[in-house]
Structure 1
Amino acid sequence: MSHDLVIANGTVATASDEFDADIGIRDGRIVQIGGDMGNATRVIDATGRYVLPGGIDSHVHISQPSGPGIVMADDFDSATRAAAFGGNTTVMPFCLQERGQSLTAAFRDYREKAEGAHVDFGFHMIITDPTPQILGQELPALIEEGQRSVKVFMTYEAMRMDDAGILATMDVARRHGARIMVHCENEDVIAFLAARAEDTGDIAPRAHATTRPVAAEREATHRALTLAEVVDIPIVIVHVSNGAAIDEIARARARGVNITAETCPQYLVLEAEDLSRDNWEGAKFVCSPPPRDTVEQQNCWRGLETGLFDLFSSDHCPFRYEDEQGKRNPAGLRSFRHIPNGIPGIETRLPILFSEGVMKGRIDLPRFVALTSTNHARTYDMYPRKGTIAVGSDADITIWDPHVRKTIQHAGLHDAADYSPYEGFEVTGWPETVILRGVPVVEAGQMTTSGIGAEVPRTAR
């Protein structure tokens, strides 16, 4: 039996195991693991390399409306190109329903933007306006179609829902088999602190962190978990940044709440003090929740090491720094309140966790695979087609050189922002070959095939 591609002599890792074996691929799927591979059109020698499932970044923002005069840096071309170079084979961006807008129309328009993507993709829907039409007709129809994850916000005045709206949305999602994701920060606390800061002239980027304290995230996390407990629905708490929120999640799990918890690189290696950099450079680090301090970094590492966190995502949300439509927009130069929230990170997510986690002995290779691929596929209904190396699965594979050392520089990255918040950060290990459904898309630092990404079918639970 001949193969289109054989990956030979590598160390394979899944979320549960690590072993040496060759992998045979035909027609975009894995058809053989180990044994005599017979003939192959092409063989890739992975001696001294790790052979891992392609990364799945299930929390990215691409071409998303960002308010008057503000434009997100990445479209699907640049974002998915960067994703591929970072070892990812699937991404999941958000379709934002602006208030007064049809959710169905928003989704149809957004899906068209993904044509020509360089990796596979799925979508989450953001609901900001839970009208009877949306909840009674449009959302159930989209869930039935396979759009099985919905995000709600507890912050940002233009996007947040009150508790009644969240409960109503959760109830529809529960009845129709979707999963709810929640951005947990108390908007009233933030608005109070932000107004007080401005009144005292505290307007620099650093105030973004001081006006979004741990307490605002902790309270909102507790409230979101309580609402999910009332409705009895699985919930994803996204981008957790601190130990107090972690403790709320642990307590709710002990009560039987079905929780998936996520954290991100910025909460492991960035700090609130980064927002204090001179000449308004702190704006480069403005994201929500903000980076915390070294104590909270260790709390987030504890969550990764102990299994409390299920997902490690980038929350890639890119804006250009030297741009009047980005971080240095006219209003943003007058006050932190108008600096666009979000940082780029789709290409650096995997190398940072690999280097700081696997290579420094904090987590093992199977845990890395679970956090960056398998658990994303399981959570968002793509497993086992995605997220693992198994016979019958899509041949989405990343071959890693575990010994190469690199210093992250934006000049060597592929997104359309003009900076990286991780500039100068040194990592050990980098993905050198990225294979999507059996087709190498990145090899030897070059994109070899482009525009072959497709929407991933998501099955019912």
Structure 2
Amino acid sequence: MAFDTILTNGLIVTASDILPSGTEIGITAGVITALGLALPHGPSTKILDARGAYITPGGIDSHVHLAQKNSPTGDGWESGTRSAAAGGTTTVIAFASQERGDESLVPVVEEYLKLADGQSYVDYGVHCIVTNPTAKILDSEFAWLFEQGVTSVKLYMTYEHMRVPDRGVLEILFKCRELGMTTMIHAESHDMISFIIEGLERKGNTEPYFHALARPRIAEDEASYRAISLAELADAPILIVHMSSEVAVNHVREAQGRLLPVHAETCPHYLFLLSEEIKGKEHDHFSGAKHVCSPPLRHRMEDLEGLWRGVANGTFTTWSSDHAPSKYDHPGGKKLGLVDGIPRFSKIPNGLPGVETRMALLFGQTEACLPASEAKLSLSRFVQLTASNAAKLYGLSGRKGSIAPGFDADLVVWYPGVEGKRVIEQGKMHHDMDYTPFEGVEVGNWPRWTMLRGEIVWSDDEGGVVGKKGIGEFLKRGRGEVVMGRTGNVPRGMLGDEREYWR
């Protein structure tokens, strides 16, 4: 057998192992067709020499906001996916967002997919944000979503114009359980937050830094526990997105200990940045608006260390960017928070850029870049968090997230040793933003090549993105798997048949 491409002389990392040295990857028609030693090659076979570097699956960033109506200065599909490819991500899952007045999800999804058509540098899927779960939508349109390959929905427990009350959350959870869909939940206590914001504004505390005080950890802790309780009643798998509080993460770990199908996601900014960033520069406090996101950056190194424990011990299922940026120096971006020259943190668009830096930030904390005694996670754990778990959770198993025969040849080839070390700089980013929150952060490596279905779309050797716009394909996703725990549990204190009396 002759292959289109053979990737040789690399250390191949999977979700469970580092394959024996000398193992090669054979690629045919964009698919991995063989792993083995001394694979045969023909005159047309392209040989790529990894030079002893690690090879990992292409990243799956399952939480990316692109071309969003509520973020007119944010990244669109072209710039956002170009940035993804440059950072080693080969699949993104973005959000078609229902507005409160929308009476159907069908045009929401169809119009959003039109925006992506022919624009993407990487493969992509779509979640649906649900803000108005009417009986019609639940009874017929959730099944339609599933048929379209949109097999996950996201709910907000906060934000006045988007939040779904607990009753609506329950109804959605039961419907998703019935269809085999994954429910993502933004868990913060709306009433706590709105109460605190009113008090801060009444006292004139409106600079960007007060955003971090307006959304304390306890608001996330309470809402996460409530989300888990609602999911337990419904016997439905959930993913709590962008977790930033160790107490909330401990709620998840306790639930997982009882084999509940509760998954957790965190993001780079919660493990590398503190709320000090939101104070801005000495003579320009509003520059802290660059770091306004929700949940906010936390205050202490202890907060970060608690989350790193969750990364290492398996509590977190996915590591996502929550790439939801707005330009800083733009009247329609972060500077919406300057009202008649007065800072108003509650008016600053929430969200940070991060799809390009996500992979390198985490890879730099593995034993590939640090002594084993200092590494915060193993290389196999890196693969689980950045690729394989998301593939399972979001219905892409068998095609994405692994290096094995039959899977798409989505691969990241890193640099050997310290050759790939670099400092993150805005001038080197490929997004359409005017800043990166990780400016000046040193990472231990950067992708040398990013391969999408066997084609190199990012080549650091050649100076940048070499893939063509439009190469990315829409991924019609299937039923998601339960990665943590299992369904079929009986809520604590209930009899086994209690649901039958009211469902």
Q: TM-score, normalised by structure 1?
A: 0.97
Aligned-pair distance for 1:35?
2.5
Aligned-pair distance for 1:210?
0.3
1:7 paired with 2:21, answer: no
Q: Among 286, 305, 313, which residue is 1:306 paired with?
A: 313
CA distance in 1, matches of 2:214, 2:428: 34
1:234 paired with 2:237, answer: yes
Amino acid at match of 2:4: D
**Partner residue, 1:105:** 107
1:210 paired with 2:213, answer: yes
Structure 1: tracts of 5 or more residues without a match: none
**Partner residue, 2:335:** 328
% identity of equivalent residues = 42
Aligned-pair distance for 1:144?
2.8
The 5-angstrom pairing of residues 402-417 of structure 1 reads 402-403=417-418, 404-417=420-433
1:52 paired with 2:56, answer: yes
- State the secondary structure of the residue aligned to 2:63: strand
- State the secondary structure of the residue aligned to 1:25: strand
CA distance in 2, matches of 1:323, 1:193: 28
Amino acid at match of 1:322: D
**Partner residue, 1:435:** 451
C-alpha contact (below 8 Å) 1:25/1:32 kept by paired residues: yes
Q: Which portions of structure 1, spanning 4 or more consecutive aligned residues, are displaced by more than 6 angstroms?
A: none
Q: Among 119, 125, 142, which residue is 2:145 paired with?
A: 142
Amino acid at match of 2:50: A
Bigger Cα displacement from structure 2, 3-12 vs 323-332: 323-332
CA distance in 2, matches of 1:127, 1:330: 26
Aligned-pair distance for 1:460?
3.0
Aligned-pair distance for 1:331?
4.7
Bigger Cα displacement from structure 2, 28-37 vs 179-188: 28-37
1:453 paired with 2:472, answer: yes
Q: Kindly tell me: are residues 191 and 357 of structure 1, through their superposed partners in 2, closer, same or farther at Cα, counting changes over 3 Å?
A: farther
Amino acid at match of 2:96: C
C-alpha contact (below 8 Å) 1:65/1:72 kept by paired residues: no
**Partner residue, 1:127:** 130
CA distance in 1, matches of 2:144, 2:290: 39
C-alpha contact (below 8 Å) 1:72/1:317 kept by paired residues: no
C-alpha contact (below 8 Å) 2:68/2:74 kept by paired residues: no
CA distance in 2, matches of 1:405, 1:150: 38
- State the secondary structure of the residue aligned to 2:39: coil
The 5-angstrom pairing of residues 54-73 of structure 1 reads 54-66=58-70, 70-73=71-74
Aligned-pair distance for 1:357?
3.8
- State the secondary structure of the residue aligned to 1:99: coil
- State the secondary structure of the residue aligned to 1:192: helix
C-alpha contact (below 8 Å) 2:97/2:128 kept by paired residues: yes
**Partner residue, 1:425:** 441
Q: For residues 98-117 of structure 1, what are the alpha-carbon distances to aligned partners after superposition, in whole Å with 9 as ceiling and x for unaligned?
A: 01212111000001111120
C-alpha contact (below 8 Å) 2:312/2:377 kept by paired residues: yes
The 5-angstrom pairing of residues 17-416 of structure 1 reads 17-19=17-19, 20=21, 21-40=23-42, 41-66=45-70, 70-101=71-102, 102-115=104-117, 116-278=119-281, 279=284, 280-292=286-298, 293-329=300-336, 331=338, 334-358=343-367, 359-360=369-370, 361-401=375-415, 402-403=417-418, 404-416=420-432
Please say which structure displays the higher CA radius of gyration: 2
C-alpha contact (below 8 Å) 2:394/2:479 kept by paired residues: no
C-alpha contact (below 8 Å) 1:25/1:438 kept by paired residues: yes
CA distance in 2, matches of 1:241, 1:409: 25
Q: TM-score, normalised by structure 2?
A: 0.89
Aligned-pair distance for 1:271?
0.4
Amino acid at match of 2:464: Q
CA distance in 2, matches of 1:299, 1:460: 32
Q: Kindly tell me: are residues 65 and 303 of structure 1, through their superposed partners in 2, closer, same or farther at Cα, counting changes over 3 Å?
A: same
Q: How many residues were matched structurally?
A: 458
- State the secondary structure of the residue aligned to 1:180: strand
CA distance in 2, matches of 1:423, 1:373: 25
Bigger Cα displacement from structure 2, 125-134 vs 446-455: 446-455
CA distance in 2, matches of 1:422, 1:446: 20
CA distance in 1, matches of 2:272, 2:259: 32
CA distance in 2, matches of 1:213, 1:456: 37
Amino acid at match of 2:51: T
Aligned-pair distance for 1:340?
0.2
C-alpha contact (below 8 Å) 1:144/1:176 kept by paired residues: no
Aligned-pair distance for 1:158?
0.6
CA distance in 1, matches of 2:73, 2:105: 21
Aligned-pair distance for 1:138?
1.2
Bigger Cα displacement from structure 2, 249-258 vs 163-172: 249-258
- State the secondary structure of the residue aligned to 1:44: strand
- State the secondary structure of the residue aligned to 2:403: coil
- State the secondary structure of the residue aligned to 1:24: strand
Aligned-pair distance for 1:220?
0.2
Bigger Cα displacement from structure 2, 85-94 vs 321-330: 321-330
**Partner residue, 2:487:** none
CA distance in 1, matches of 2:165, 2:264: 22
CA distance in 2, matches of 1:10, 1:350: 18
C-alpha contact (below 8 Å) 1:151/1:181 kept by paired residues: yes
Amino acid at match of 1:5: T
Aligned-pair distance for 1:372?
0.4
CA distance in 2, matches of 1:39, 1:254: 49
What RMSD in Å do the two structures reach over aligned CA positions?
A: 1.2
Aligned-pair distance for 1:173?
0.9
C-alpha contact (below 8 Å) 1:140/1:172 kept by paired residues: no
C-alpha contact (below 8 Å) 1:64/1:72 kept by paired residues: no
C-alpha contact (below 8 Å) 2:337/2:345 kept by paired residues: no
**Partner residue, 2:496:** none
